[in-house]
Structure 1
Amino acid sequence: MTVELARPFSPEKHHSHRDVTGGWLRPAVFGAMDGLVSNVALIAGVVGAAGAGRGAVLAGFAGLVAGACSMAAGEYTSVRSQTELMRAEIAVERRELARNPDGERAELAALYRARGLDADLARRVAEGLSADPEQALRVHVREELGVDPDDLPSPYLAAGSSFVAFAMGAMVPLAPFLFGASGLFLALALSVVALFGFGAAVAVMTARPWWLGGLRQLGLGTGAAAVTFGLGHLLGVAVS
């Protein structure tokens, strides 16, 4: 007779998720794409109107500095306003929990009943979660406002991410002129590669086909550059 030894318990390994609430991805992606597209379009417009030269360099550098500062200021203001609104609503919930704990507990139980728990289990869950006031606040904020009170977006992170990303994107079409390029071809070539590459990288990060993201961003960027080059050329001819 053989005795089968029990296998040692091995805890299940759960999958992990990427950070989707840190407040850096959207401004970084938006900043890099905005910097690249707006500066290649700006430089193309200047070259179309007046030809390549010092004017294109000055326009590209001005577009980089002004755009990066504008993006950072805009992201800081928007994220700061959003965070302040969230904190104000969290304060409302905190006051309501202190003023009417029974009503808030009943509200939480009703929410869990709406999600499929039976009345007794929903009541016990709500009572258990409401035993600790801070835990109760977190649960109510997540359930009612859809935000994590311990992980609100940072306006400083959003501003810094957008500033750096915009500057890096805007530098791509400007770099050839800083090294003595006399035409638009090299700037456009680098911009095409960067547009496709960055669009593909973002698509991979967001679990989409890389080629689709690259082609989409390439189409948007080259379309903007073509429009501004054409308008610049028409204005240059009209002025001359």
Structure 2
Amino acid sequence: MATTDTLPDKKYTDSLQTEVDAAFLYERIAAAEEVPAIARMFRELGAIEHEHATKMEAGLRSKGIAVALPPPSWRARLLDRIGKTFGYGYVIGVLLDTEKSISAAQLAQKEKSHIPISGDEANHVRILQTLLNNKIKVTGEHISRIEGKHRTIGGNALRAAVLGANDGLVSNMSLVMGVAGATDGQSGVLLAGMAGLLAGALSMALGEWISVKSSQELYERQMALEMLEIETNPEGEMRELALIYIAKGIPEAQAHQMAAAAILDTEHAHEILVKEELGINAEELKGSAWEAAIMSFILFAVGAILPVIPFFYASGYAAILQSLAFSALGLFVIGAAITLFTGKSIWFSGFRQVLFGLAAAAITYGIGKLIGVSIAG
């Protein structure tokens, strides 16, 4: 008779945690979804993941491995919070990546064990891709809702925030260490650090302003052309819209009916065609280029200020060591934040970020030291 005193391997606990987190997030997405048909699909996915978790727990216990269903992890709860704030489109993308990893692991294990492949291993991947590719056979309004969620900028904004702070920290830390190497942490380091912060932040802000503004102007021009086409050739646009619906898997007769109904209202037809044909999310046009520029400036500056702080009140090697400590802490936090996208261990990602950042600092410090010695000599 099997005993239950064997401690589980990390691979078992990680797999069980993955299933529990997926069930939790599917349920949270379903709770936030306004369309009943779509909410039901996510709720069913959550129920399946919960069933997987309970069966996995029972299977491990039958093998004498002591394990219990864990609560949702901090990462899952944080992703839920991000979904509530920015929209669940990014969270769905994370779940899709998770399902792909699980599917690949199942296929590899079956091939290794010479177990026939059933074709069901990637079912969840196909379901999520169907949702994200807008191929669910519901009304045109529902399709637009899915597309809007898929194109939400929340995940991109979060990623930009992390990477913006990382760029500011690594670039300014490298600059500060280079000047510190040349001057032994004495005169000029604070001035160089603040100059690097302002120059980098202003450059990032200007780049972001130009990017957002040019995108908005391009989209507005495309939308104006689309409206002109609707007004001058409504029959052709109706046929295009019908073909788009057919490509999404809607029956041909229903697709033509939906297109004919939509084209009767010019504004409504324009809204659908902008979204369906041009792939433009009108919500993105509401964003302010100045707001994006200011946020870019702040995020870069938050990272860039960390290596400079000690030089406000200290100098020499004491300031250099404190600067490295501040920078290492910031790098670890950024590495930990990156795990929201990768799903890797916080410690692995955090220390990897610290290692690469400090390696860059060491190189620039060494170069600065050589330059300082050459100038002094």
TM bin, normalised by shorter chain, reads 0.7 to 0.9
Between the aligned partners of 1:75 and 1:29, the Cα distance in structure 2 is 15
Between the aligned partners of 1:35 and 1:227, the Cα distance in structure 2 is 17
Question: Any stretches of 5+ residues in structure 2 without a counterpart?
Answer: 1-29, 34-79, 88-151
| Contact persistence 1:57–1:178 (CA under 8 A) | yes
Q: What is the match of residue 21 of structure 1?
A: 153
State how many pairs are aligned: 228
Q: 1:226 aligns with which of 362, 368, 377?
A: 362
Offset at 1:27? Answer: 4.4
Q: What is the match of residue 208 of structure 1?
A: 343
What's the secondary structure of 2:316's corresponding residue?
coil
Q: 1:164 aligns with which of 264, 276, 298?
A: 298
Between the aligned partners of 1:94 and 1:126, the Cα distance in structure 2 is 16
Which has the higher mean CA deviation after the structures are superposed, 168-177 or 222-231? 222-231
Q: What is the match of residue 146 of structure 2?
A: none
Offset at 1:106? Answer: 0.4
In structure 2, relative to structure 1, the CA distance for the partners of 1:88 and 1:216 (3 Å cut) is farther
Offset at 1:127? Answer: 1.9
Q: What is the match of residue 9 of structure 1?
A: none
Between the aligned partners of 1:208 and 1:151, the Cα distance in structure 2 is 28
Which has the higher mean CA deviation after the structures are superposed, 161-170 or 229-238? 229-238
| Contact persistence 1:27–1:75 (CA under 8 A) | no
Between the aligned partners of 1:215 and 1:80, the Cα distance in structure 2 is 37
Q: What is the match of residue 62 of structure 1?
A: 195
Between the aligned partners of 1:157 and 1:213, the Cα distance in structure 2 is 31
In structure 2, relative to structure 1, the CA distance for the partners of 1:181 and 1:128 (3 Å cut) is farther
Offset at 1:113? Answer: 1.2
Q: What is the match of residue 83 of structure 1?
A: 216
What's the secondary structure of 1:146's corresponding residue?
coil
Offset at 1:116? Answer: 1.7
Q: Which amino acid aligns with 1:21?
A: I
- Identical pairs, percent: 42
Between the aligned partners of 1:177 and 1:126, the Cα distance in structure 2 is 65
Offset at 1:118? Answer: 1.9
Q: What is the match of residue 76 of structure 2?
A: none
Between the aligned partners of 1:88 and 1:101, the Cα distance in structure 2 is 19
Between the aligned partners of 1:174 and 1:130, the Cα distance in structure 2 is 59
Which has the higher mean CA deviation after the structures are superposed, 33-42 or 227-236? 227-236
In structure 2, relative to structure 1, the CA distance for the partners of 1:198 and 1:91 (3 Å cut) is same
Between the aligned partners of 1:104 and 1:25, the Cα distance in structure 2 is 37
Q: What is the match of residue 326 of structure 2?
A: 190
Which has the higher mean CA deviation after the structures are superposed, 110-119 or 158-167? 110-119
Q: Give the TM-score normalised by the residue count of structure 1.
A: 0.85
Offset at 1:14? Answer: 4.0
Question: Any stretches of 5+ residues in structure 1 without a counterpart?
Answer: 1-11
Between the aligned partners of 1:147 and 1:53, the Cα distance in structure 2 is 53
| Residues 1:148 and 2:256 aligned together | no
| Contact persistence 1:72–1:158 (CA under 8 A) | yes
Q: Deviations over 1:74-95 (max 9, x none)?
A: 1111211111111111111111
| Contact persistence 2:162–2:337 (CA under 8 A) | no
| Residues 1:127 and 2:145 aligned together | no
In structure 2, relative to structure 1, the CA distance for the partners of 1:26 and 1:151 (3 Å cut) is same
Q: What is the match of residue 176 of structure 1?
A: 310
Between the aligned partners of 2:260 and 2:159, the Cα distance in structure 1 is 38
Q: Deviations over 1:172-231 (max 9, x none)?
A: 010011122432111111111111102312433x46335254345334422322221222
Q: Which amino acid aligns with 2:313?
A: F
Q: 1:94 aligns with which of 223, 227, 247?
A: 227
What's the secondary structure of 2:283's corresponding residue?
coil
Between the aligned partners of 1:159 and 1:26, the Cα distance in structure 2 is 16
In structure 2, relative to structure 1, the CA distance for the partners of 1:126 and 1:192 (3 Å cut) is same
Of structures 1 and 2, the one with the larger relative CO (CA 8 A, separation 6+) is 1
